[in-house]
Structure formats: C-alpha cells, structure tokens
Structure 1
Amino acid sequence: MLRHLMFGFGFLSATMLSHAAFAEGARTLQIIVSKDKQSLTVYDGDTVVATSNVSTGKAGHSTPSGIFSILEKRKYHESNIYSNAPMPWMQRLTWSGIALHESSSVPNYPASHGCVRMPGAFAKSLYQMTERGAHVIIIDAQIAPERIESTNLFMPRKPLPAGPLFPDVELRTSSIRGDSKPVEVAMNVVPDNPSLARPAIVTDARSAAAADEDAAPLRILITRRSEREMLMDVQVILQDLGFETGGADGFAGPLTRSAIAGFKRWKNLSLKGPLMTPEFLNALYETAGKPQPPAGQIMVRQNFESLFEAPVGIKDPQIALGTHFFTVDKVEHSAETAEWLGITLPNQLSDATMKRLGIAVADDPNAPDATARAFDRIEIPADIRDRIETLMTDGTSVTINDQGLGPETGKGTDFVTITHSQPTISQAKNSVTKPRPVRQSQARAQYRSIGLY
C-alpha cells in the first residue's frame, strides 16, 4: 500500500512540474510511447521525469511506430477531419496528421484515430515541458534509453579561435635592411570553422564554446545511399565525360536517360532492364577512373533545415544495419566529453526492400550491444566528423536505418523513421478479411488540407 502511495505522489509531482523547471533541459528530453502498455514515459537522459497512461490508434486507424519529433505546438486545435473535434495541448508529430493531445476519453486500450491521447492535466504539463524538435519514439513494446559507450561515437571538439593565431605578436619584415619600401607580410590565420558561421565575432575558444550553447541541436541520419544520391553521382560523371544530363539533380529526366543510354551503347552494354545496373555503374566508374562511392550517406539538419550531407562507408553492407536512435547530453566542448544514450527499434524490412538495398542478412535487434555495434559499422570521413563534433550540442541526435528518408520526412521536419513490426499469425488472418467500406469523410480527407485526428 505504501509503495502505491509513494508512486502516486511521485507521478503527481512529475505531472505538475512547471515549464520553468525544464527550460534549460528541454532539448534533452525524449518521450517514449509504448503501444503494448498504452503508456507514455518522459526521459531526461536515462532518468524518468514523468509517466502517464495514453490511448493510441485503434484497428483501422493505427498509430504508426517510429522516430518522430515535435513539429508544431498549439494550446488549442480543432481537427479538420473529424467534425472539428477539440484537441487541446496539441503537439504535432507528422504533417499527415499524427499528434499528442488532450482527450476526455483515455481508456486503457487503443481508442484513437491515430493520435496519442493523454489525460488533460498531463497533456498540459507535457506541453509546458517540451519545445519544438523534442523527440518522440512510438514503439510496439516498452523500451528505455541506455547509456552507450563506443569509440566511434561523436565527441565534442574545442572550437578553433577566430582571428590571427598570434594576435599579440608585433609584425616585422624578414629583411634587415631599413628601407621604406612597402612589403608583403604572410600571416597564419585560422581556416574556416563551421561553428563560427554566425555573425558574432569570437576571439577565443572559451567564448566560442559559450556562443555554441544556444545553437539548435543537430539532427543526423545515417542510412544507405538511395538511388537519388547514386544518380547524382552518375550525372556528374557523365557530364565530365561529355554527355548532357541537364544537371545533377538526382532525377532521371529525358536528358539523363538519353545520356545513360548513350554511354551504354558506347560500352556495348544492354539497354534492357533497370536504368542503373551494376554493370553500367562498374563501367562508368572504371571509364572515369574513379572508385565507386561508399554504400552509406550521412545527412545533417538543424532547425528543421538541411545543413549538409556526404557519403559514408558501411562495413559489411550485405548485413542490415537495423534501426537505432542515439541522443547526447552533458556535452562539454572545453573538456571534449559527452554522454550518449541509445535504443534499438525492431523494424521488419520486406523481402523486396532487402533485395532493392542489397541486404542478404537481416539484423537482430535483440543481439547483445546491437545499438553500439551498429554505430561501429559506420565509417565517417575525418572532415565530416570534425564538422559535426564542432557543432554538436546537448540534444544532438543520430538515427541509423536502412531504408533512408521516409515519406514523413520533408520540408519543415526532422528525420522521421517509420518502423514496421513482424506481423503475427492473427494479424495475417485479419489482413485477408473483407475490408470495411471507406467513410465518405475519410475519402474527402485525401483532398483536404492536412489535418489531425
């Protein structure tokens, strides 16, 4: 009895914490929603801050599992799909209509049209804790972040100082003659430092570190190179060889298709089959005298905007990477230390997807140290690592997946990963039953502005 009373008091205290209490730590908070437990847990690092019961999507309107972030916050919102249903303390997770919000009906089972419903007092408290960009992990089975140690994880670097390396040194010529003719003086200056790209003038490393404290956390996705990245490389090489592709935009327009066909005829390659076959790629890179690029791609966003991207290597690319999520806190640039947390999410890839990605062996999310071992397989160029480690702040996150950018990732979002669970026998049976007729309001919703459930 005493244990239950203590738990209830702890929960009440957690849900009544003010926004001010989390003003400094909001960027390190992450929310994990467990669909099997119908529960929500707020973590600051690996410490539980608050918990609540929730109601996720019901049959026919399931809540997607995956890695999300808060895109928009409104104290009051009305659904433009379901009869202007009130949705107080709304925190949007996707532009297609999934959100966290208050509801008067939060039973201990799935009952929503896709959103995550929360009790009123908790919904308000959570709204006050979070800020845009906070991560929300929705998963089928309950999971908790764990501290991760790996020599391959990013670690903060001391920012380089701006200005001359020796500002107090009096300049003089190398000649001992005392003539008055003008002379040229060579000076060592600091190379471009991405952490100092803001207008503020920074004169020492300590000031640089302080200036970075308010920078938005980085959002990093490491995945396999998609056909778009490969096609962009192909377009550049073809242009260097004298073919006209119409630019290097990663889209197979008429000029690009004509250029690829022309190269295939030149090298006596078959014109049948996919546009970019392994034989075509091998011949193209060999002709250009260039090595084929690594199998992976790293993409970096900040403040919901693309920052940069680059190729990265993947060890044993025939083995699936799996889906993993990392966050960092306690970032100390002056000491070059930080602490990482990670979780692994089950994500069942279809046979067709595995074949398209060249994956022969599926990942095992339950393998020991699966999270850290996934990061250890990534080979990141030194210049890209330096840039990230100079820019990283508390709350910086890394997602690793196989499938690349999902349909929910777009303009004004962080990287969204939708995961797929292994269907059970009962689910497989249900999938062949007669489908329910589509409600007229649902059909109209496809042509209306994006709304919330």
Structure 2
Amino acid sequence: MSGSNRRGSLALRTALVSSAVFAFMVGITDPADAAIRSRVRADTAKKPNPEKDAFAEASKGVLQIVVSIGSQRVTLYSNGTRVAQGPVSTGTPGHPTPMGVFSIIQKDRYHHSNLYGNAPMYYMQRITWSGVAMHEGALPGHAASHGCIRLSHGFAAALWPTTKLGVRVIVARTDPTPTEFEHPKLFVPRAKPADPADAVSEARPTLIRVAESTTTDARALDMTRAAAADPEKPAPTNADPPKPLAPTGRQSDQTLKRAGHVSVFVSRKEGKIFVRQGFAPLFDMPVVIAEPDRPLGTHVFTALGARPDGGGMRWNLLSIPTEARRVAETSRTHKGRKGEAAKPVVVQGSPASTAAEALDRIQLPTEAMERIGELLAPGTSLVVSDQGISGETGRGTDFIVLTR
C-alpha cells in the first residue's frame, strides 16, 4: 500500500472513531441535559398560591370584612366562611379609627392622599367620605395611622380585585365572627307583581298608530271630496302632518327602577325602618319596638342565598358588642356650686338584647316586609341598632352606623 493510501485510511479511521466518541458523549449528556431542562421548566412554572386562589374563589360568594381594633387584624369572609386574614394598623388614640357598620363606597388603585402631602395610598377602598379607607401602608405592629386602616401590600393587592362597591365592612374593638342564623321575622323572597306600566307602554304604540292612520285617512277623504266638488281648485299639497295622541301617563306616576343591593336599617333612636338600594334612599316607615327604653344592640343580618330546600333565604349574623358610654359629669356641692373639674364616668346601661330578642321586639309594617321581599337577593342586609342614622350616611353611601 502506498504512503498516500495509508494516510487516507488513517484519516478515515480517525474520523470514524471521533464520530463514535461524539455520539457516545451525546448519548451520555443528553439525558442529563433533558433532566436539567425539565427541572428548570418545573421551577419556572406557575406554582399554586393558596392565598391568592382563596381570594379568587371568595369573590363568588357574599363578602364581609371584619377589622378588629383590639387584635390589629383584618379578616375576609365569603358566605360566612373565613377566607383570609392579615395584620393591619389602625388609628392612634389621637386619631382613632371609627367603629361601627360601613361598606366600600369608592375604590382607587393608585390613590394619593389630598390631606397628607400627596402620600401614596395604593389599593384604596374608602368606607367614609370624611377620609377613612383601607389601603396599603406601613405596618409597625401597632396602631399608627391617622384613622385609616393600613393593610400589607400582599393583602391589599389580593383584596383589591376581589371586592366590589357595597361590600360590608365591620370595624369593632373585638373580633366578631359571622354565624348562621334563622328567625321567622327575617325577610323571605316574594314574587314581584307585574308592572302595569309595562302593559300600558306595550299597548300605547298600537293606539297611536291607529289614531295616526284614522286621521290621515279622514283628511285624504276630505281632500278627495273637495277636489271632486271643485275640479278647478287644486287640492292642498302641504297638509299638516298628523299629530300622535298624547300619552295618558305622567312621568311622576311611573315607578322608579333602581339596581344594586338592598340595605335595611332599623333604628331604635329614630323609631323607623329605612331602606336603601344602590346607595340611594328607597323608602322609610315608622316601626313599633317593644320595651323602647331597653337597648337592642347592634346586629347585622346578611342574606347569603337560597336555602337548599327552597324554603327561603340563608342568613348569617354579626353582632357588635356594645361598649359602655363614657360621659362627663360635673360633681356639685350640696349648695349647687361647681366643684371639681368634669371627669369621664363610665355609664353602664341595661344589657342589650340578643339578635333573636331584638327581632322579637321589632314589629315591621307588612308593606315594608312585602316590598323588601320583592327586592330580596344574596347580599341584602338588615342592620338593627340603637343608634340613629350617622352623619356619614349620605349621597353615594350605604347605611353607616357608628357604634363608637
């Protein structure tokens, strides 16, 4: 074999060996690379987040938010079941957070304060027009705000897309929890009667068309007769168009239709039942309350949905403990002169009624029960309280009841 042939054969063998080695190395490393790539894909894939998933599921039910001043925490409930809980920072003693029954009346994702130097208050959810809201903020572990309810970033961001306007917010010293509740005086669904205005509106266009046709035909007949009697006189070409009949109903007589959840407030102080729908007053009526001097307490009843057996609505209850009133009394001498400076005195009144006792003592008008029953839906609420309508209740709000 010549030298050139030997060199060619050697080069060929070298190439074959190199190819075999390369294939062997690829066979060894490829499974490892595949495993690494698989692990990377698994790590970068979206992992389940129980807290966020819980918020998403919560929006399908009737929501309630409870803020506890004493424990400095907020709890979100959906259909009476606790969904999430987180820390808060409420108002300092000099700027206390008001306590009572509220609802979300405004939302602003990128809100900035117009009172405190344009400070950012992201994920803002307002509960009063006087400046109290829930929003993202610093949480030092104690009450430190000017009255607002500060939330952690994670809780505020998750709560923001979950809530809607009208969601009930309870602020209390303690940490009340909703419980299932039944009572024969709670509202029950009632079929809404047919609106007679709808029937009139459907029939009216037909009447108008008939009237127009009759008027036109009569005028055409008169013009034909006139032309036949006086052939030299041309028939009028610019006859006035027929006018439709005026509607018989007046706008003030028509029922005003509103949308939105219904809220009912029974006030022992006012001796009335007040009803709102969609943040606007609907009607109010006097009520009879047995033992009018005895406190009712503050109780919030919320309709959750239809009962499985079809026997009405499921309700839950949130009762807010009544706090002792502190009043300033001036001690006087037996001669009637002023003595020492006024001191706050804790006044312990009569014990408040339980929720069941409160409903037993209230006699609601039949008309009110029927009208509310026609509007009853999941989210409808009944607030019973010794308090009157707060000055915070107004245009664009639900009932705001201040307990402290």
TM-score range (shorter-chain normalised) is 0.5 to 0.7
User: 1:364 aligned to 2:351?
Assistant: yes
Change (3 A) 1:336 1:329: same
Asked if structure 1 preserves the Cα contact closer than 8 Å seen for 2:66 and 2:74, the reply is yes
Residue 363 of structure 1: how far off its partner (Å) = 4.7
Residue 346 of structure 1: how far off its partner (Å) = 2.3
1:146 aligned partner, one-letter code = T
Q: Name 1:126's counterpart in structure 2.
A: 159
What are the residue-to-residue correspondences of 1:178-197 with 2, within 5 Å? none
Q: Name 2:176's counterpart in structure 1.
A: 143
- Residue of 70, 73, 82 corresponding to 2:116: 82
- Residue of 35, 58, 78 corresponding to 2:92: 58
What are the residue-to-residue correspondences of 1:33-432 with 2, within 5 Å? 33-103=67-137, 105-161=138-194, 215-224=259-268, 226=270, 296-331=271-306, 335-348=310-323, 350=325, 362-365=349-352, 370-420=354-404
Q: Distance in 1 between matches of 2:53 and 2:152?
A: 13
Change (3 A) 1:22 1:311: same
Q: Distance in 2 between matches of 1:83 and 1:153?
A: 47
Deviations 1:150-193 (A, max 9, x none): 11111112333567xxxxxxxxxxxxxxxxxxxxxxxxxxxxxx
Deviations 1:255-300 (A, max 9, x none): xxxxxxxxxxxxxxxxxxxxxxxxxxxxxxxxxxxxxxxxx20000
Q: Distance in 2 between matches of 1:407 and 1:44?
A: 29
* Aligned-residue RMSD, C-alpha: 2.9
Q: Distance in 1 between matches of 2:317 and 2:55?
A: 27
Asked if structure 2 preserves the Cα contact closer than 8 Å seen for 1:46 and 1:146, the reply is yes
Change (3 A) 1:34 1:12: farther
Residue 45 of structure 1: how far off its partner (Å) = 2.2
Residue 109 of structure 1: how far off its partner (Å) = 1.3
Residue 107 of structure 1: how far off its partner (Å) = 2.5
Count of matched residue positions in the alignment of Structure 1 and Structure 2: 283
Change (3 A) 1:375 1:361: farther
2:303 aligned partner, one-letter code = V
Q: Distance in 2 between matches of 1:386 and 1:137?
A: 28
Asked if structure 1 preserves the Cα contact closer than 8 Å seen for 2:58 and 2:83, the reply is no
Gaps of 5+ in 1: 1-10, 164-195, 200-213, 227-295, 354-359, 421-453
State TM-score, norm by structure 1.
0.58
Q: Name 1:446's counterpart in structure 2.
A: none
Larger fraction in strand: 2
Task: Name which structure has the greater RCO, CA cutoff 8 Å, separation 6+.
Answer: 1
User: 1:13 aligned to 2:47?
Assistant: no
Residue 394 of structure 1: how far off its partner (Å) = 0.5
Asked if structure 2 preserves the Cα contact closer than 8 Å seen for 1:68 and 1:93, the reply is yes
Instruction: Please identify the structure whose Cα radius of gyration is greater.
Output: 2
Asked if structure 2 preserves the Cα contact closer than 8 Å seen for 1:71 and 1:133, the reply is yes
Q: SS of the residue aligned with 1:54?
A: strand
Structure 1 runs of 4+ off > 4 angstroms?
16-19, 196-199, 349-353
